[in-house]
């Protein structure tokens, strides 16, 4: 796609490498001469302009040029890739691990055919923090559970996540496990890496306050946390509490060093004008400004039972999982229009607008009916200016309500990308080529909202089935059920509990009966987990 200056808002504010990326008028040979010596993500394209490979680099100039050096020994996959490369684009970022994060997101968006290895869901990794436990720990896992802990991710590189946590532990000491019978502080405490809860070296509330700062950094709020620590350090120094002031100073040094090595979120550094897809959306819909926050919504239920809705958030074109929210409708009914309307009313309530802000664009998973129901909710809540569009599943059509979507279709730009539109009395259905950047991004948001909704629906379904099953189990009365839930936290915890722990709680005889009745449900739950789309 050949971008012109008039099609890219605020292009004059970007640096030279941004213009190269957004306005690829130059030949490939000329582009290679202009590659920056900075970290970033690069995009290899074929003759049709489709992205066939996404990669990251500590130094873009060195890494990208390697693909065009004939003398280098290559494996067959790389040879096939190099033969297909006709064009290259790139994005410059501030750190190597920011490039790692951005690479993962772009692969999920574009699914390039040569990125087979990074499509494997087994490689995904999460950070697990059981903040509410009486002995909070921080670990990594590949499989999040409904166990009351807080999960952050997913990340594509487990090694990078562990290295990042290792660096963060110097600033915010945390425990990784609780040893059975451990009463004395571990070696990690004496190294300054563990809070030392065993001997009461750190109060539990102080430890949780420390974990809140760790979580904020993981969510991309590193600069805010540094400012907060600097204020606290100055206060301690003024009060002549030099020991705590020195600890806070060391935290600041560790976090400043962290900024040169790792970032868990794109929000601090990502220049929104660099994203091809966002530029196309702004141009197609004639939007006055970039939609910095895009929210996607979907409904999931089984014939009107366990009705849930998902809200996913993409900040600057990249998924922002810390902002995801889920809703359970107040009334269960098999009516997606009503369910969507209720969800958007709750989302756009005054309380939630203050807490979460207002989106720059809302994407509804569905066609005319779902979009109309969502817009009615928006208008009833007094948020008439928010742009709303839909994405119909069958043909991947962008659905626009003529008078109420708050966007204006740019016919010239649509035709330049090979698209066309059909109109009815109230709606415009825009058909864009499925390989365009904007469609890839909208599909990514839609698929993520669908995955998140189905995941929550599955959890509620299992809970409901488990609860009804417990009511039917002989010898498991109300008091026993309360004791199980109080001990193991949830029905998922009961199902995953060891025989020894169950026997200790309810006795050997009841444990035998309980496990006999839960065994079929465990098999069904395992099957449902395999079937749930990622």
First-to-last alpha carbon distance for the chain, in angstroms, is 30
| Confidence (pLDDT) at 118 | 42
| Confidence (pLDDT) at 378 | 96
- Residue 183 near residue 145, CB atoms below 8 Å: no
CA–CA gap between residue 51 and residue 275 (Å, rounded): 14
Domain 473-531 in this protein, CATH class: mainly alpha
3-state helix, strand, coil in the chain (%, to 5): 50, 15, 35
3-class state of residue 479 by DSSP:
helix
| Confidence (pLDDT) at 254 | 67
Cis upstream peptide for 154 (omega within 30°): yes
CATH 3.40.630.30 fits 275-445, yes or no: no
| Confidence (pLDDT) at 342 | 93
pLDDT per residue of the chain (534 residues) written in tens, 0 to 9? 222 222 222 322 333 233 334 434 468 888 888 899 888 899 999 988 888 999 888 889 988 888 887 755 666 777 888 888 999 999 888 777 677 778 878 888 888 888 865 454 445 678 899 888 888 999 988 777 767 788 876 666 677 678 778 878 877 889 888 776 666 777 787 787 888 888 778 888 888 988 988 887 777 666 777 787 888 888 888 888 888 788 778 777 766 655 444 333 333 334 455 678 888 999 999 998 889 899 999 988 776 677 888 999 998 888 887 788 888 888 877 888 999 999 999 999 999 999 999 999 999 998 899 999 999 999 999 999 999 999 998 789 999 999 999 999 999 999 999 999 999 989 999 999 988 889 999 999 998 888 888 877 676 666 665 555 666 677 788 788 778 877 877 677 777 788 888 888 888 888 888 888 777 666 665 555 544 443
CA–CA gap between residue 31 and residue 89 (Å, rounded): 9
| Confidence (pLDDT) at 156 | 60
Alpha helices in 497-533 (DSSP H): 499-506, 508-531
Per-residue CA distances from 431 to 70, 85, 262, 411 (Å): 41, 28, 40, 12
| Confidence (pLDDT) at 464 | 62
3-class state of residue 156 by DSSP:
coil
pTM of the model: 0.56
Q: What are the backbone angles phi and psi of residue 400, rounded to the nearest 5°?
A: -125, 130
CATH 3.40.1440.10 fits 5-119, yes or no: yes
Q: Within 10 Å of residue 71's Cβ, how many Cβ atoms?
A: 4
Q: Within 10 Å of residue 355's Cβ, how many Cβ atoms?
A: 9
CA–CA gap between residue 426 and residue 372 (Å, rounded): 10
Provide DSSP, 345-371. Answer: HHHTSHHHHHHH---SEEEEESSHHHH
Find all residues with CB under 8 Å of 468, minimum gap 6, and list them.
none
CA–CA gap between residue 83 and residue 100 (Å, rounded): 25
CA–CA gap between residue 22 and residue 10 (Å, rounded): 12
Task: Report CA torsion sign: 76, 118, 457, 461.
Answer: positive
């Amino acid at each position: 796609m050949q971008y012109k200056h008039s099609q890219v808002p605020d292009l004059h504010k970007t640096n030279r490498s941004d213009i190269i990326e957004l306005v690829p008028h130059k030949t490939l040979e000329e582009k290679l001469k202009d590659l920056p010596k900075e970290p970033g993500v690069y995009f290899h394209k074929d003759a049709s302009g489709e992205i066939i490979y996404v990669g990251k680099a500590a130094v873009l100039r060195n890494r990208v040029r390697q693909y065009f050096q004939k003398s280098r020994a290559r494996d067959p996959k790389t040879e096939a890739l190099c033969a297909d490369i006709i064009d290259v684009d790139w994005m410059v970022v501030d750190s190597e691990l920011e490039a790692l994060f951005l690479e993962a997101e772009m692969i999920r968006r574009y699914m390039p055919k040569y990125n087979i290895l990074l499509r494997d869901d087994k490689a995904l990794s999460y950070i697990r923090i059981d903040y509410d436990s009486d002995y909070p720990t921080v670990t990594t896992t590949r499989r999040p559970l409904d166990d009351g802990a807080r999960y952050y991710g997913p990340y594509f590189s487990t090694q990078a996540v562990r290295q990042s946590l290792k660096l963060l532990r110097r600033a915010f000491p945390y425990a990784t496990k609780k040893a059975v019978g451990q009463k004395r502080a571990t070696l990690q405490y004496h190294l300054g890496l563990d809070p030392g809860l065993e001997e009461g070296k750190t109060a539990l509330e102080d430890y949780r306050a420390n974990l809140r700062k760790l979580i904020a950094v993981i969510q991309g709020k590193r600069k805010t946390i540094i400012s907060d620590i600097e204020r606290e350090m100055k206060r301690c120094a003024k009060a002549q509490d030099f020991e705590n002031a020195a600890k806070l100073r060391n935290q600041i040094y560790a976090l400043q060093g962290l900024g040169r090595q790792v970032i868990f979120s794109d929000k601090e550094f990502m220049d929104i004008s660099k994203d091809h897809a966002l530029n196309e959306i702004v141009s197609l819909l004639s939007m006055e400004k970039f939609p910095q926050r895009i929210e996607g919504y979907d409904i999931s239920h089984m014939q009107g039972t366990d009705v849930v809705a998902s809200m996913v958030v993409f900040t600057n074109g990249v998924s922002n999982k810390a902002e995801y929210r889920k809703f359970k409708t107040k009334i269960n009914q098999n009516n997606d229009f009503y369910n969507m309307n209720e969800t958007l009313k709750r989302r756009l309530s005054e309380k939630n607008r203050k807490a979460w802000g207002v989106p720059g664009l809302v994407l509804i998973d569905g066609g005319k009916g779902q979009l109309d129901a969502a817009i009615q909710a928006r208008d009833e809540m007094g948020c008439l200016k928010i742009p709303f569009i839909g994405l119909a599943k069958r043909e991947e059509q962008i659905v626009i309500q003529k008078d109420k979507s708050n966007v204006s279709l740019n016919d010239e730009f649509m035709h330049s990308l090979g698209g066309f539109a059909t109109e009815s009395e109230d709606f415009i259905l825009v058909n864009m080529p499925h390989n365009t950047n904007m469609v890839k991004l909208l599909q990514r948001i839609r698929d993520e909202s669908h995955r998140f909704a189905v995941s929550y629906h599955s959890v509620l379904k299992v809970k409901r089935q488990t609860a009804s099953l417990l009511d039917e189990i002989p010898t498991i009365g109300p008091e026993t059920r309360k004791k199980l839930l109080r001990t193991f936290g949830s029905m998922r915890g009961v199902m995953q509990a060891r025989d020894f722990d169950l026997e200790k709680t309810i006795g050997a005889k009841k444990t035998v009966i309980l496990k006999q009745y839960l065994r079929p449900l465990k098999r069904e739950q395992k099957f449902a987990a395999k079937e749930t789309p990622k």
